[in-house]
Chain A
Amino acid sequence: MSAVAIISIFTLAVFVGFEVVSKVSSTLHTPLMSGANAIHGVILVGAIIVADHSSTNLELGLAVAAIILATINMVGGFVVTDRMLEMFKGKK
């Protein structure tokens, strides 16, 4: 991928990230942080890629540790956010 393409993606994503959360009420700060936290759990994808091409035991061991940590981050993050938001249901 060209450097320009990557910089373009990065820049646009920065603006989108700023824009989508700029008007959130303080009530939702905690769930929003927790949800964003779960999203960066997609580093799991990166962990799987490096586990796939690990060629030594050291690499594989570190990659397996990364997969475990990333899964905890992603799965746990979405579940705990859902539990928080469950409390808001049925309210106006």
Chain B
Amino acid sequence: MSRTLYDLIGLFAGVCFILALKGLSHPKTARRGNRIGAVGATIATLVVFFYTNPGSSLPLNNLGWILGAIAVGGVIGVPAARKVQMTQMPQLVALFNGVGGGAAALVAIVEYLHLGTNATTADVIFTVFTVIVGCVSFSGSIITFLKLQELMTTRPVVFPGGRFVIAATLVAVLGVGAWVVSALGTAPLLILAALSLLFGILFVLPVGGADVPIVISLLNAFTGLTVAASGYVLNSVLLIIAGTLVGASGTILTRLMAEAMGRSLFGTLFGAFTAKPQASSGVAEERPVRSGSPDDVAILLNYARRVVIVPGFGLAVAQAQHTVRELADLMISKGIDVAYGIHPVAGRMPGHMNVLLAEANVPYDQLLEMDEVNPTFGQTDVAIVIGANDVVNPAAQNTPGCPIYGMPILEVSNAANVVFLKRSMRPGFAGIENELLYDPKTMLLFGDAKASLTKVVSALKAL
């Protein structure tokens, strides 16, 4: 196959990726968009097997190894993607992003070893960039995975002098990077990779749970840029186009996400340098809360005219999507006006809750976005908060300095009554106490969300 044809097919794949991103931006075309992207990636992969690189011949060298490795990757990736529970999807995306970054770093290292002294300065600079950013993306994504999977604390991890350690590591990374460019050699490059992995870990550790999705999105954009840089070294138009597209769209997406969460991107990114060890505000005083029974909740609902359901991650964990729809249907049959108030980051990521509720066949028109639902809480008799905490926490509006301060919230405190379905008094993902729990108009129903909802449904039926 001629170089021209090869590059033209690469261009075609690049166009597929543009159409994929375009399609993914609209609900109607999203699924088709994803499939167009998959077609583009498949074509791009297949065509490599039919192109002779300079100094090589067909079939490709090491063909058995290449095909075997693809098979292994497929056997790992496909079942993971198929079997993952929808609630755990954000961390899987983080993991996929991390391995992509790792792959880009490895490609850059191999190409560097291969070129040896033939590498131009530009090649080496792009290699250094790819190794640094790819390794940061890899180790950083692993940390976000551990945080989301709750295998480690979701609170910001800040240690004394942490910001100096991080700054020193960054300086070391850049210094070794410059060393590689000037001196060349395998050992400096491997030291660079190790330091970059360390920096990725230190960079993500101080990020609080609520900001993790923003960091995943940012690392995603980073990985895109490493792919573009590899494209330069490997002389591949396709990789440059695809990587740049992801880098650019990922950057915009990161900013949009940060806006939806009311977070400053700068504050999230450089939290590592500004975060102070938090005084543990958890003076565990026993404060009175008003807990109720499922019957109490059912009576409250029976005499309501308007009810807003605020679903959170706890609902998803308890797999209570179907039960909550049953409750909503029952209330609607009693002539109660029912809506769902969806916070942009309900669940773990923007849009995550919509996916989960859509899975339970909740009608799309009952799902109200934050801006639509907030003005209606004043006319709402009961707000039922199911397994959510941070997204309704008034501290975001009235406690400057708390980690979620400034995040837009669902103003459920304006409703006449608030019912919290919770497993325990444990604070939410961001680890902040919620004053609303102690409000006199709040009723708490403790227990597993699904079990509690089932009891409320039968109590309401009996009325």
Contact = CB atoms under 8 A, between A and B. Distances in A.
B410 to A, nearest CB: 14
B354 interface: yes
A25 B33 CA distance: 16
Contacts of B191: none
Interface string A70-82: 1111111111111
Contacts of A69: 73, 99-100, 102-103, 106
A87 to B, nearest CB: 4
B73 A72 contact: yes
B106 A1 contact: no
Interface residues of A, number: 81
Interface string B52-67: 0101100011100110
A25 B350 CA distance: 9
Classify the secondary structure of A's interface with B.
helix
Interface in A23-63: 23-56, 58-60, 62-63
Nearest to B60: A52
Name which of A1, A23, A70 has the most chain B CB atoms within 10 A of its CB.
A70
A63 B110 contact: yes
A81 B86 CA distance: 11
B204 to A, nearest CB: 16
Interface string B352-369: 101110110000110001
Interface in B213-253: 216-217, 220, 223-224, 226-228, 230-232, 234-253
A30 B246 contact: no
A44 B45 contact: yes
B72 A80 contact: no
B27 A68 contact: no
B224 A40 contact: yes
Contact of A14 (B84, B90, B242, B248): B248
B224 A10 contact: no
Given A17-B246, A72-B96, A79-B78, A54 B241 contact: no
B110 A42 contact: no
Nearest to A77: B96
Contacts of A68: 69-70, 72-73, 76
Contact of B41 (A10, A34, A39, A72): A39
A32 B65 contact: no
B65 A51 contact: yes
B323 interface: no
Given A13-B241, A35-B24, A51-B62, A78 B37 contact: yes
A6 interface: yes
Contacts of B265: none
A73 to B, nearest CB: 4
Contacts of A49: 48, 53, 234, 236
Contact of B33 (A9, A35, A71): A35
Given A36-B246, A80-B93, A42 B65 contact: no
Contact of B252 (A22, A53, A71, A84): A22
Given A29-B349, A34-B93, A85 B260 contact: no
5 contacts: A10-B244, A28-B27, A31-B24, A53-B61, A73-B97
The 8 closest A-B pairs by CB, nearest first: A71-B73, A17-B248, A76-B77, A29-B350, A13-B244, A73-B100, A67-B69, A79-B81
